[in-house]
Amino acid sequence: MAFLVAGTLQVASQMADARQSLERKGKYGLQGPRVALILSSPGVLDSTVAVLEGVFRSLGFESCQKREASLQGFLGELAGFREQLDALGGPVGCALVALVAPRGQLRQPQQLVWELNRCRALWGCPKVFLLLSTTPGAAPEPGAFLTGLSQLCGRFPHWSLLQLLTEVFYRTAKESEASYCPVLRSSLRGALCLGDVEPWEPQPEPSLSTHYELSGTRAALLLSVIRGRPGAQHDVEALGGLCQALNFKTTLRTDPTAQAFQEEMAQFREGLDARRVPVSCALVALMAHGGPQGQLLGADGQEVQPEALVQELSRCRALWGCPKIFLLQACRGGQRDAGVGPTALPWFRRWLQASPTTPSHADILQIYADAQGRSSGGPTPGSSDQADILMVYAAAEGCVAYRDDEKGSDFIQTLVEVLRAYPGGELLELLTEVNRRVCELEVLGPDGQRRRKACLEIRSSLRRRLCLQAGLCPLPFRGC
């Protein structure tokens, strides 16, 4: 019995240390072993697997399991990997999984992601998924993405993984002459530094060529349904004030119908293309009720697909090569997340000085890339017309986005708070900090007295670092 209590206290202490580290410095503590797995379908080149092994070693993963399986067997292999980790009997510092398959065949990667996300040993720990597509008959040499990732992991181990990926995206786009760009999806709650270095050492600065140049006009479009959404007006006021402080010329439309969402976006694009002065950045906020499949609902109750609005702006000639930021404050389904983590007695919870649960969708990073670095046909997540886009969802896929009648939404209000405090920070880092703060909140939802958790989803194909106000105070955890 004493052994069980001691073991429980040890695990809880490790989780508390990791959580306090995340809160203090805005980064993951990475206590526990790092585990890695490469799953490849038959026909994947040995050279691709060899480069991945080198990347994993550069990131501090001493051992890496390699398995070849059919696409139908990926789920079973991940289930076995999950069971293996849970059998360790303690927390794992980080998991890194590479899934390699021919282009277009890995059609439901989320099912694979959720299989590993069920792992109890990884509660509150970062889980990184590298989803690589390959082209049959392509040259055996790895493309710009894998080459750049391999080089940078060894040269700049101090950088956070999001910083490394942004630099890799830049190099990939440069080598492919902007015909191709990888994409990442993140619900990380802090900076993830995997290099085997002391976290307090100084961090090298990226080249200035990898920053977006923002000397031109900045334009913002705020589309918000106010009717039937108590507290939404607070979000409009807060976001409008932030845009003004960041020098965005802002257009506001309230209570748009579904058709008006599309018309306003088209007019916004046409207005930017008609400008005689250069445009350097666009910000679009879409705030409304959401449908069961992530649709936006206009003031008339009709649906509009947010992807169609993104595609409309990506056609803007004035914004080619410029960052396009989308903020989506809307439900993406009806799931209410109670969070995951160990159960604990009240005194134990007070001893931890924090909620023992984290959102079940948190701490996941997915990277979609092509092993050969080639563009694919059509508007796929890695094609050039989807580059330079940053999308931030207030809720994870399938989940409810919360809004307070008196204060506004957790996402928008926290976003404004962080950007006003650190206007000179790199935007992906700032958004990770926003997610950390949102994940700490506990919401008493309308479905009863049970507390609920929320988590953002950040999607980025940015090819440069994005700082909305240069030369001002960076985030305190920047040097990781």
DSSP codes, 440-480: H--EE-TT-SSEEB---EEEE---SB-BSSTTS---TT---
CB-facing half-sphere around the CA of 201: CA atoms within 13 A: 11
Whether 376 and 176 have beta carbons less than 8 Å apart is answered as no
Residues in the chain: 480
The beta strand positions in 6-156, using DSSP E, are 34-40, 65-68, 94-102, 127-134
CB-facing half-sphere around the CA of 238: CA atoms within 13 A: 20
DSSP state of 420: H
Look up tokens 């983590």; give the residue: 341
Question: Under DSSP, is residue 203 helix (H, G, I), strand (E, B) or coil?
Answer: coil
What is the structure's pLDDT at 473?
Answer: 47
**Token representation of residue 153:** 């992991």
| 289, 322, 439, 455: the active-site residue | 289
d(CA 143, CA 149): 10
d(CA 140, CA 142): 6
Question: Which of 41, 118, 117 lies closest to 74, judged by CA?
Answer: 41
What is the structure's pLDDT at 266?
Answer: 97
Q: Is 289 a known active-site residue?
A: yes
| 435-452 b/e (C-beta count within 10 Å ≥ 16 → b) | bbbbbbeebebeeeeeeb
Fold of 214-338+347-362+387-460: Rossmann fold (3.40.50)
Q: Is 331 a known active-site residue?
A: yes
What is the structure's pLDDT at 479?
Answer: 40
Query: Which uninterrupted H or E stretch holds 104?
Result: none
d(CA 184, CA 390): 10
Question: Which of 323, 455, 332 lies closest to 390, judged by CA?
Answer: 323
d(CA 98, CA 68): 12
Look up tokens 């209000």; give the residue: 413
CA distances for 271 relative to 26, 189, 247, angstroms: 39, 37, 18
**Beta strand pairing call for 94-102 and 34-40:** parallel
What is the pLDDT tens value at each position of the chain, 480 positions in all? 333 333 333 434 444 444 444 544 578 888 888 899 999 999 888 888 888 888 888 787 877 899 999 999 999 999 999 999 999 887 888 999 999 998 878 877 899 999 999 999 998 899 999 999 887 766 656 778 888 888 887 788 778 899 889 988 888 877 766 667 899 999 999 999 887 554 434 454 555 457 899 999 999 999 999 999 999 999 999 999 999 999 999 999 999 999 999 999 999 999 999 998 999 999 999 999 999 888 999 999 999 999 999 999 999 999 999 999 999 999 999 889 888 875 433 444 444 445 568 899 999 999 999 887 654 433 344 444 678 999 999 999 999 999 998 999 999 999 999 999 999 899 999 999 999 999 999 887 665 567 789 999 999 999 999 999 865 445 554 444
d(CA 328, CA 336): 18
Look up tokens 């995206």; give the residue: 169
Question: Which of 327, 467, 354 lies closest to 478, judged by CA?
Answer: 467
Identity (one letter) of the amino acid at 276? R
| 64, 331, 399, 480: the active-site residue | 331
Question: Which of 407, 413, 458 lies closest to 432, judged by CA?
Answer: 458
Identity (one letter) of the amino acid at 186? S
Question: Under DSSP, is residue 258 helix (H, G, I), strand (E, B) or coil?
Answer: helix
Work out the number of other CB atoms within 10 angstroms of the CB of residue 179: 15
Question: Which of 114, 105, 84, 95 lies closest to 42, judged by CA?
Answer: 105
What is the structure's pLDDT at 232?
Answer: 96
